[in-house]
Amino acid sequence: MRGTSVIPAKPLYEGKAKSVYASENPDELIVVFRNDMTAFNGVKHDQFTDKGRLNATASEFFMKMLEAEGIPTHHIRMSAPDTMIVRRLEMIPLEVIVRNVAAGSMTKKYPVKEGMVLDRPVVTIDYKDDERGDPMINDDLIEVLHILTADELRKVKEMALHVNKVLTRFFDKCGIRLVDFKLEFGKADGTIYLGDEISMDSMRLWDKKTGESFDKDVYRFDKGDVIAAYRNVLKRIIPDSGV
């Protein structure tokens, strides 16, 4: 169900590719997916027509899928093709990364070759702070800095691995390998919810047969038409999406 929402002139928060606004309901926020695309911590920055709508469409689709699998998310409804109404959360300043295949920063920091399938999914966590370069953080620091309790941290990891299981199974049917992805979480009324987005911006996706990238790496490393790659993903996951 889509409804209309009045978007205030000034956002509460403006990220690299999304803007967050207050809504008339104090328990809800308005998230606008913009056409901005960035890489290398904002050093590379461009805009692409329709990029916001494509990511919003994917994020809504996956949020609904995960809700059906018992994973609470902040998604409430869409009010426009690029605008999502979400539950207001107290965001946890962590980026939770699940890796199934070695790629990206993992191959730069550790002695593994890109494309190596890991023995099991690996969860790593970064502290979300652009000024500090989003440093990796361990369980002890998360607890000592009072970011999460031990029980909350265990819950977040369980949720991340559950998301991985659901998405890996789904993408496999679409001929896509889920290499890795980033999640963010938040709290409301004592419950931990999946927040932020799940889109081509936050996942690394490879064609299972050719190894072709269908994610932001296409933009990062000038591999071709990134919007065509994003549309390819949507055509596979939502054949009737009209992209």
Domain-wise residue ranges, the chain: 13-87, 90-225
On the question of pLDDT at 156 being above 70, the answer is yes
Q: Give pLDDT tens digits for 47-105.
A: 999 999 999 999 999 999 999 999 999 999 999 999 999 999 999 999 999 999 999 99
Rounded to two decimals, what is the model's pTM? 0.95
Q: Which of 46-50, 62-66, 140-144, 238-242 has the lowest mean pLDDT?
A: 238-242
pLDDT for residue 6: 76
Spatial separation of the C-alpha atoms in residues 86 and 121, rounded to whole Å? 29
pLDDT digits (tens, 9 = 90+) for 123-138: 999 999 988 989 999 9
Question: Strands, E, within the chain: which ranges?
Answer: 13-14, 18-22, 28-33, 36-39, 44-47, 75-80, 83-87, 90-91, 94-101, 117-127, 176-183, 185-188, 191-194, 203-207
pLDDT level of residue 1 (50, 70, 90 thresholds): very low
**What is the pLDDT of the chain when averaged over all its residues?**
95
Judged by phi (left if over 0) then psi (alpha if -120 to 50, else beta), residue 127 lies in: beta
State mean pLDDT over 210-220: 97
- pLDDT of 158 above 50: yes
Rounded average pLDDT over 131-146: 96
Task: Give the mean pLDDT of 154-169.
Answer: 98
Predicted local confidence at residue 7, as pLDDT: 85
Which CATH architecture is the domain 90-225 placed in? 2-Layer Sandwich (3.30)
The CATH topology of domain 13-87 is: Phosphorylase Kinase; domain 1 (3.30.200)
Exposure on the CB side of residue 56, measured as CA atoms within 13 A: 25
CA distance 134 to 199: 20
In this predicted structure, what is the pLDDT of residue 5?
A: 67
Residue 150, pLDDT score: 98
- What value does the mean pLDDT take over residues 152-172? 98
Residues 70, 74, 77: CA angle, nearest 5 degrees: 100
Distance of CA 29 to the CA centre of its chain: 18
